[in-house]
Amino acid sequence: MSTAADSRHRELGLTDAEYERITGLLGREPNDLELAMFSLLWSEHCAYKHSRKLLRRLPTEGERVLMGPGENAGAVSVGEGWAVAFKVESHNHPSAVEPFQGAATGVGGILRDVFALGARPIAVLDSLRFGELSSERSRYLFDRVVAGIGHYGNSIGVPTVGGEVAFEAPYEHNCLVNAMCVGLARSDRMVRAAAAGVGNAVVLMGASTGRDGIGGASVLASAELSDDDEHKRPSVQIGDPFEESKLLECCLELLDRELLVSLQDLGAAGLTSSSGEMASAGNVGIDIDVSRVPLREDDMEPFEIMISESQERMLAVVEPGRVDEVLATCARWQTGAAVIGEVTGTGALRVLRGEEPVGDVPVAALVDECPLYDLSPAEPAGWIYPNESTLAGAADPGEALLALLAAPTVASKRWAFEQYDSIVGSRTVRRPGEAAAAVLQLPEAGTAIAVSIDGNGRRVACDPYAGTVEAVLECAANLACVGAAPLGLTNCLNFGNPERPAVAWQLDRSTQGLADACEALDIPVVGGNVSLYNETERGPIYPTPVVGLVGELPDPARVPGLALRAGDRIALVGPLAPSLAGSELAKLRGELGMGLPEAGLAAAGAALSFVREQARKGTFGAIGDVSEGGLAVALAEMALAGGVGLDADLDGLVEARGCSGESALFGEGSGGFVVAGVAAAIEGLLDAAGEAGVDAFAIGEAGGERFEMNAAEAEVSVPLAEAGGAWRSLSERMGETVAA
């Protein structure tokens, strides 16, 4: 049992039992440096000690998978010797403490994960969650996070092509900032992170090492935040996109010339994690001489050097005979580089200061022996989140539609995405807001890809299993709208404290939902991230699994957009069974509670395949899927995109599903697509759907200056201009906030 004198481990987030395990593995007590290294690599952020067992459920194999979980990023083949690499990661806690740098360095970190494989980053997407926009704090965080993402991505020249933003009360004190990067590489030039070759040099490249970020992501992401977290601001890393741009080009040249044995980025836990994980993957040891590490501050202690999370740094393994070429290439790119150690056969991570040993731990103990915990899940007795009403239950359907269009989660995000350069690099076929998913051309491989990122924490809170299945279906629906077939999935699981039974239940059920949805749709999971302890003393965030998909499509020229045109016939395709449970309308009315209808994976999967095939044929001119706000909002958004009104009759949906008119208009669920085009095309599509056994029926026509919708007892009649004003309200509000 540890004594009071040994309580230093508790200050670093280690339990007494974990400390005893460390002393047993070492056969002695660790010194301060070694204890700091263990505290970081045994943190939740690095070790996944509460989630790793659950992640084993996920399917990870597929015929197109080239790299899966365990590498810096996943990668899938797109033909002609080319591969697409991609990954999503969180930077939640740093962004809650310092939103601009937290978001900026989140982008920088995910870019490094991708080019560490040898892939050139070609796109960034982001998934963001904040408290209600009525909160000054939430408006500030939203403003600064968007600015940070735009600053880093725009400066480094990688387009931000898509994403999502939601505003819900449980994110008020713990925002979520998830960033996804997509890169392109030659399949035969990709490199793994495993260190190899006893006697090979270990080279640190990029920016010099400072005290910024010491104990940053790995500590902040492994503990709950409190109201007095202002003092943690120095723990947030400081990013320099121009330094990273040089580092990126330098690394890609070194890999193209086959000068590196392996490459790893320095993210959470800095040199400790990068060297330890490389050694573990290669089953070797590594010696690091901290006196050789280029520093910004000369008086740094060894433990500070080993755990610093300074940005824009990479660690490489290089054969001795090629070290001079590597250093010369780095000098030409004006990228710092220094030989700081070597690969050994000891199986230990040794830290030296010149000739003086200052730390010596077995790699297996540091990386592989962290205890993995079984959760103690217990379903909560009822709804555990705030439930405030902002819309009277007696509001008529027209008022409800306007309220939904103005709701920040639904309203136009033009204010945000116009701050991002979405076309730099000349690959972007569809800009944000033009189609359901971003589409990028890959002329090198003679193909194109679509990418999307999605999640809905509110619905997962209502039913963690069904809500997570819906998240996968929603992301796959976005790809189907542009004719893309999924190649692989990456995920970021954002949850509260897993040691609490209710959160453990959410995590357990959500992970199972993710596994079952991916199995049913035959989508391999190629990597991802887990972010836990997203809560404060006020309670946890909504459980928020975010999924990112990459899919392939043959002809980007045929990609349909969102905009209706006057005279278009409109049809509803798919097994949509709309329900107000967990919906945006239920949120506005303060009527959220436990439970969602079953998603229906088989029927939804059939609809995905059908819509994807029809999109590739160019059958329709416009398409959108039914999500937040239900069918009425989906119709309104497509009409607003085309600047035209519409007349829709949803009585057929009411009759087919046995639902109320209000549910037909505003209910949510999986598997619904709104398609539009010339009359002959839509008639042909309805016939084809019948032959394929997919539900589909005509619901209206585009034209005029009003939104006219009827569904049994519910009717909507709203001027186009008034609906447009409601939908643009978020952008106008944020513009006024920034100007003030």
Catalytic residue numbers read 45, 91
Structure-block tokens of residue 290: 């901290």
Cα 370 from Cα 358, distance rounded (Å): 22
Cα 229 from Cα 219, distance rounded (Å): 13
Residue-by-residue DSSP string for 288-301: EEGGGS-BSSTT--
Is residue 452 within 8 Å of residue 437, measured between CB atoms?
yes
Q: Counting every residue, how long is the chain?
A: 740
Cα 41 from Cα 269, distance rounded (Å): 7
CA-based nearest residue to 183, from 102, 62, 279, 66: 66
Describe the crossing of helices 464-481 and 501-521 by its angle, rounded to 10 degrees. Answer: 40
Block residue for tokens 């339990």: 15
Q: What is the dihedral of CA 517, 520, 526, 532, to 10 degrees?
A: 20
Where do the H-state alpha helices sit in 643-678?
651-657, 661-666
Helices (H) then strands (E): counts for the chain: 27, 28
Cα 39 from Cα 34, distance rounded (Å): 9
The CA-to-CA distance between both ends of the chain, in Å, stands at 58
Give the sign of the dihedral formed by CA 572, CA 574, CA 575, CA 581. negative
Cα 502 from Cα 466, distance rounded (Å): 16
Determine the residue type at 138: S
Cα 507 from Cα 501, distance rounded (Å): 10
Cα within 13 Å of Cα(665), Cβ side: 27
Q: Kind of pairing, strands 74-79 and 535-536?
A: unpaired
Query: Which residues, at least 6 apart from 277, have a Cβ–Cβ distance to it below 8 Å?
Result: 193, 264, 367
- Paired with 318 in beta bridges are 201
Q: Under DSSP, is residue 489 helix (H, G, I), strand (E, B) or coil?
A: strand
Is residue 249 within 8 Å of residue 300, measured between CB atoms?
no
φ/ψ of residue 217, rounded to 5 = -60, -40
Structure-block tokens of residue 345: 């056969």
Is residue 566 within 8 Å of residue 702, measured between CB atoms?
yes
Cα 698 from Cα 571, distance rounded (Å): 4
Task: Centre a 10 Å sphere on the Cβ of residue 656 and count the other Cβ atoms it contains.
Answer: 16
CA-based nearest residue to 490, from 479, 475, 504, 478: 475
Give the sign of the dihedral formed by CA 402, CA 403, CA 404, CA 406. positive
